[in-house]
Amino acid sequence: MRRPVLALGSLLGIYVAAMLVLPTAEGWAGDEPAYLELARNIANGHYRDGSPDGPLNMCFPGWQTPDLWYGPGYPAFLAPFAALGLPVSVIRLVGPLLLLASVLLFYRLLLETVGRRAAFLGALGLGLFVPFYRYLPHLHSEFLALVLVVAAMLAITRFVRSGSRVAGLAAAAALAGVALTRVAYGWVLTVLLVVFAAWWLLRRSSTARRLAAASGLALALCVPWLAYTYSVTGRPLLWATSGSVSLYWMSSPYPDDRGDWHCASDVFSRQWLAPHRPFFTAHADDPPVEQGRALERQARRHIVDHPGKYLENIAANASRIVFNAPYSRRPLDLRSLVFIVSGAVLVGLLALAVGRLVRVRRRLPPEWPAFALFAAAAFAVHLPISAYVRMLIPIVPALLWLIVVALAEQRRTPR
Q: Is the pLDDT of residue 413 over 60?
A: no
Is residue 279 in some structural domain?
no
Which domain does 380 fall in, by range?
2-242+317-412
pLDDT attached to residue 359: 84
What is the spatial distance between Cα 173 and Cα 183, in angstroms, rounded to a whole number? 15
Is residue 78 in some structural domain?
yes
pLDDT attached to residue 412: 56
Is residue 194 in some structural domain?
yes
Q: How confident is the model at residue 62 (pLDDT cuts 50, 70, 90)?
A: confident
Find out whether 323 and 272 touch, Cβ atoms under 8 Å.
no
Is residue 294 in some structural domain?
no
pLDDT digits (tens, 9 = 90+) for 84-96: 999 999 999 999 9
Neighbours of 301 (CB within 10 A): 12
Is residue 175 in some structural domain?
yes
Q: Is 222 exposed, middle or buried (0-12, 13-18, 19+ CB in 10 A)?
A: buried
Higher pLDDT, residue 336 or 44: 44
Domain count, the chain: 1
pLDDT digits (tens, 9 = 90+) for 331-350: 887 778 999 999 999 999 99
What is the spatial distance between Cα 261 and Cα 76, in angstroms, rounded to a whole number? 26
What is the spatial distance between Cα 247 and Cα 244, in angstroms, rounded to a whole number? 5
With a pLDDT cut of 70, the percent of the chain lying above it is 97
Q: Is 70 helix (H, G, I), strand (E, B) or coil?
A: coil
Mean per-residue pLDDT over the chain, rounded: 93
pLDDT attached to residue 414: 45
Is residue 110 in some structural domain?
yes
Q: Return the closest-CA partner of residue 253 out of 313, 319, 297.
A: 313
Q: Is the pLDDT of residue 361 over 70?
A: yes
CA angle 386, 93, 181 (to 5 degrees): 40
User: Residue 238: left (phi > 0), alpha (psi -120 to 50), or beta?
Assistant: beta
pLDDT digits (tens, 9 = 90+) for 89-132: 999 999 999 999 999 999 999 999 999 999 999 999 999 999 99
What is the average per-residue pLDDT within 145-162?
A: 98
Q: How far is CA 148 from CA 153, 185, 364, 388, 394, in A?
A: 9, 12, 24, 20, 9
What would you measure as the largest C-alpha separation in the chain, in angstroms? 68
pLDDT attached to residue 13: 96
pLDDT attached to residue 61: 87
Is residue 289 in some structural domain?
no
Is residue 372 in some structural domain?
yes
